[in-house]
């Protein structure tokens, strides 16, 4: 997708290094950063310079490439694989991508390990781009139906950033929106600010602006009244881990939005590539929920009058704060899952029908 009219992907390999867009600096500064070692990749994931389930999967895959370049000793590669998987706990894509690439490298003493790893990392990213594009083509049908009925601007609410910045390209939740916009359907997006890190305000609104899509940032608690007023036609969100029963783990606050949507009969869709499906965990209570530093709540960042990024404390200095990063929306509140293979019911049967 575009930034200042130039097409980008969120991660790419060039001149023997991995290039990323540093998302901690957006929307105020656009900085392309080099990852040269596996430690750089782990740090970028932990600090959320790259974030979003599919993108951290792609970064972990390139992390293995960087590890091999540094030291092709099998023990070092295996240790790096473990550290990459542990760099963030909730999104299943990290483990999915690392396991996939390590399986390809079955014989770690093979002198072609670097080429094999590089090809697989590229394929993981190319595949994500194809899958996200298909999510858009499939999700477009839902938006088209609403537009046919309403004959007026379709209002879509989204939470966090499940946009192209969270994937390799297109996004998951935003892909149907981009496809509808390209078809000329008038769209307006309600963007949840998404405290504490403001991925909605800083990233979703930013990328929609760059693509010329009408959007309005709202405080996270505003969605409910907008739904009661009939100002939301549908919700689309992303997911970091989708269980085989259709339960969906996504950015903290997603569950409350799903409850409000259910109470107001607003369709609530979740968009995902199959790489975020966890076929093993059966009970949502077993999903590891990331708890991040409370400083993300107690401090906010922005630019000052000299265009410099500043961080300020906004809480009483003695107060404690708790920063759970994800919650789980039970399948019963999900209208449907929009995947690269089609739209299905959020249930074991629904998922089985399209992913045999
Ligand atoms: O903590 P983040 O910013 O990595 O969380 C991202 C989300 O919750 C996204 O909705 C999810 O990863 C889906 S991305 C297509």
pLDDT in tens, the chain (356 residues): 889 899 999 999 999 999 999 999 999 999 999 999 999 999 999 999 999 999 999 999 999 999 999 999 999 999 999 999 999 999 999 999 999 999 999 887 788 999 999 999 999 999 999 999 999 999 999 999 999 999 999 999 999 999 999 999 999 999 999 999 999 999 999 999 999 999 999 999 999 999 999 999 999 999 999 999 999 999 999 999 999 999 999 999 999 999 999 999 999 999 999 999 999 999 999 999 999 999 999 999 999 999 999 999 999 999 999 999 999 999 999 999 999 999 999 999 999 999 97
Q: What's the rounded Cα separation, in Å, for the pair 352 and 356?
A: 5
Which of 166, 191, 258, when mutated, tests ligand 1's pocket best, judged by the most ligand atoms within 8 Å of its CB? 166
Q: Establish whether residue 239 lines the binding site of ligand 1, counting it when its CB lies within 6 angstroms of any ligand atom.
A: yes
Q: Whose CA is nearest to atom 2 of ligand 1?
A: 52
CA distance 89 to 95: 9
Catalytic-role residue among 40, 192, 233, 240: 240
Ligand 1 within 6 A of 257 CB? no
Q: Report whether 66 contacts 37 (CB < 8 A).
A: yes
What pLDDT sits at residue 244?
97
15 Rama sector, left if φ>0, alpha if ψ -120 to 50, beta otherwise: left
Distance 42 CA to ligand 1 centre (A): 17
Query: Is the CB of 199 within 6 Å of ligand 1?
Result: yes
**pLDDT for position 54:** 98
Which pLDDT does position 111 carry in this prediction?
Answer: 84
Task: Residue 49: name the closest of 68, 35, 66, 67 by CA.
Answer: 35
Instruction: Determine the pLDDT at residue 327.
Output: 98
192 Cβ below 6 A of ligand 1? no
Ligand 1 atom nearest to CA at 197: 3
What residue's CA is closest to ligand 1, atom 6? 52
Task: Specify the pLDDT at position 270.
Answer: 99
Distance between CA atoms of 326 and 290, rounded to whole angstroms?
Answer: 7
Does ligand 1 have an atom closer than 6 angstroms to the CB of 53? yes
Q: Ligand 1 mean position to 109 CA, how many Å?
A: 36
Choosing from 139, 157, 160, 202 the residue with most ligand 1 atoms within 8 A of its CB, the one to mutate for a pocket test is 160
- Calpha distance 117→122 (Å, rounded): 9
CA atoms of 198 and 189, how far apart (whole Å): 16
Spacing, Cα 262 to ligand 1 middle (Å)? 22
Q: Contacts from 27-33 at CB under 8 Å and sequence distance 24+? A: 27/202, 27/203, 27/205, 27/206, 28/302, 28/303, 28/307, 28/309, 29/309, 30/3, 30/4
What does the block give as tokens for 299? 């401090």
Contact predicate 238/175, CB 8 Å? no
Which pLDDT value is given to residue 356? 79
CA angle 25, 27, 30 (to 5 degrees): 60
For the question of residue 107 being annotated catalytic, the response is no
Which ligand 1 atom sits closest to the C-alpha of 172?
15
What are the beta bridge partners of residue 316? none
Among residues 352, 295, 348, 292, which one has the least CA distance to residue 323? 292
Look up residue 67 and give its two tokens: 């590890």
Instruction: Tell me, in angstroms, the distance from the centre of ligand 1 to residue 238's CA.
Output: 7
Closest protein CA for atom 5 of ligand 1: 52
Helix (H, G, I), strand (E, B) or coil at 5: coil
Q: Whose Cα sits closest to atom 8 in ligand 1?
A: 251
- Please indicate whether residue 163, judged by its CB atom, sits closer than 6 Å to ligand 1: no
Centre of ligand 1 from the C-alpha of residue 160, in Å: 7
Q: Which two tokens stand for residue 148?
A: 């046919």
């Amino acid at each position: 997708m575009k930034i200042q009219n130039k097409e980008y992907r969120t991660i790419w390999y060039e001149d023997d290094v991995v290039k990323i867009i540093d998302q901690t600096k957006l929307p105020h500064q656009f900085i392309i950063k080099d990852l040269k070692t596996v430690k750089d990749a782990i740090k970028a994931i932990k600090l959320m310079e790259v974030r979003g389930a599919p993108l951290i999967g792609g970064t972990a895959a390139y992390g293995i490439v960087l590890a091999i370049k540094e030291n092709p000793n099998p023990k070092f590669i295996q240790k790096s694989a473990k550290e990459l998987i542990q760099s963030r706990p909730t999104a299943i894509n990290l483990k999915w991508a690392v396991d996939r690439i390590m399986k390809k490298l079955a014989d770690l003493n093979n002198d072609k390990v670097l080429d094999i790893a590089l090809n697989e990392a590229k394929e993981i990213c190319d595949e994500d781009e194809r899958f996200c594009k298909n999510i858009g083509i499939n999700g477009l049908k839902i938006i088209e139906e609403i537009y046919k009925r309403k004959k007026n601007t379709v209002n879509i609410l989204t939470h966090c950033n499940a946009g192209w910045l969270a994937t390799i390209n297109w996004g998951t939740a935003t892909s149907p929106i981009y496809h509808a916009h390209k078809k000329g359907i008038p769209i307006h997006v309600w963007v949840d600010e998404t405290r504490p890190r403001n991925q909605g305000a800083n990233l979703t609104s930013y990328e929609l602006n760059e693509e010329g899509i009408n959007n309005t940032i709202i405080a996270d608690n505003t969605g409910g009244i907008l739904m009661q007023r009939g100002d939301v036609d549908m919700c689309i969100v992303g997911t970091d881990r989708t269980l085989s029963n259709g339960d969906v783990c996504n950015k903290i606050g997603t569950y409350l939005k799903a409850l409000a949507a259910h109470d107001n009969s607003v369709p609530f869709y979740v968009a995902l590539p199959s790489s975020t499906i966890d076929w093993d965990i059966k009970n949502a209570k077993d999903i590891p929920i990331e708890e991040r530093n409370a400083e993300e709540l107690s401090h906010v960042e922005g630019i000052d009058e000299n265009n410099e990024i500043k961080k300020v404390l906004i809480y009483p200095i003695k107060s404690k704060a708790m920063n759970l990063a994800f919650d789980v929306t039970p399948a019963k509140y999900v209208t449907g899952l929009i995947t690269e293979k089609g739209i299905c019911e959020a249930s074991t049967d629904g998922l089985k029908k399209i992913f045999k």
